[in-house]
Amino acid sequence: MIQPIKTNRIVYIPNGSLNYTIKYLQKKDNLDILNIDKYFLFFIGKPQSGWIDLKKTKMTKFDFLYRLTTSKAALKKIMIIPGETDYFIYKQIAKKMGFSKYFKCRNIPQSFIYPNTYYLPYGFKEKEVCNYLYKVSLEKHKELAKRIFGYWNFKKYYNFLVVASIVQKEAANSKEMKTISSIIYNRLKKHMKLQMDGSLNYGKYSHTKITPKMIKNNNTKYNTYKYYGLPSKPVCVVSQDAIIASIFPAHTNYLYFVRVKGKHRFATTYKEHLKNIRTK
């Protein structure tokens, strides 16, 4: 038991019997663990399954076996909040998981990640993280779509995410979301440009203040001051409230809004809108 062992600090323990665990460690990690060692483990406790942090890479066999049963899970907490863009989400994940700064999940459609708190095993590779995030996000979006529509249609649902992303960026709070959504649809119906700052808070501009200079120089389809209609992709990840607001907008005649003391004033005419601006 005082025999020295060299191992990775982060190890994966499969779910299964002690015999299976021993064989896995022998084969996968090439560790000098004997079948007789399972009897020692039997007395001190069953190793927990999943990724665990041993805290050390060199130790005695006794220490190694003991740490298998007592070490904490090696998990990284990733908080993805509504309104954030993929650009900053992937930067956060790369930093927490020790990935390349160019990390990006190319298998996940833009802004499709479901906002949530994720606990990712430290030993996950980039592909494993992407597959996990996609699987969880797809399940969440499918669940919501089936609850509302009764079926799943990616293209239809994704179009609503585009509207929801602008609602997410523009609304001061969840109570305003359905009203903001109604303005988007009202302006589209009248073939008016949306002219909303939130559409320009895409990618690396997520936290950038939109200025007249940026509006003038930005020639992407995210610039709803220059182009009619909606961007082809969502601006940011969105909350369930924003998605519901995009599908069930309020019934209003509003076409304009201006932020006043942390919330918005709405108007049906440009004259009324100018008055709201002057009195804010």
Give one word for 247, left, alpha or beta, with left for phi > 0 and alpha for psi -120 to 50: alpha
Q: What is the pLDDT of residue 204?
A: 97
In single-letter form, the type of residue at position 231 comes to: P
DSSP 179-211: HHHHHHHHHHHTT-----GGGG--GGGTTPPP-
According to DSSP, the residues that pair with 279 across neighbouring strands are none
Q: What is the pLDDT of residue 32?
A: 64
Q: What is the pLDDT of residue 43?
A: 63
DSSP 65-109: HHHHHHPPB-EEEEEE-TT--HHHHHHHHHHHHT--TT---TTS-
**154-168: average pLDDT:** 98
Q: What is the CA radius of gyration of the chain?
A: 26
Q: How confident is the model at residue 19 (pLDDT cuts 50, 70, 90)?
A: confident
According to DSSP, the residues that pair with 265 across neighbouring strands are 258
List the helix and strand counts (H, then E) for the chain.
Answer: 10, 8
The whole-model pTM stands at: 0.80
Of 13-17, 246-250, 251-255, the one with minimum mean pLDDT is 13-17
User: Measured between alpha carbons, how far is 186 from 256 in angstroms, rounded to an integer?
Assistant: 10
Q: What is the pLDDT of residue 69?
A: 79
Of 1-10, 63-72, 86-95, 185-194, the one with minimum mean pLDDT is 1-10
Q: What is the pLDDT of residue 267?
A: 96
249 pLDDT higher than 60: yes
The per-residue pLDDT for range 20-30, each reduced to its tens digit, is 777 777 666 66
Mean residue pLDDT across the chain? 90
Nearest Cα residue to 67 out of 10, 23, 16: 10
For residue 271, CA distances in Å to 37, 225, 243, 266 come to 82, 19, 31, 12
Q: What is the pLDDT of residue 79?
A: 97
The per-residue pLDDT for range 193-237, each reduced to its tens digit, is 999 999 999 999 999 999 999 999 999 999 999 999 999 999 999
Q: Biggest alpha carbon distance in the chain?
A: 85
**87-111: average pLDDT:** 96
Of 86-95, 223-232, 260-269, the one with minimum mean pLDDT is 260-269
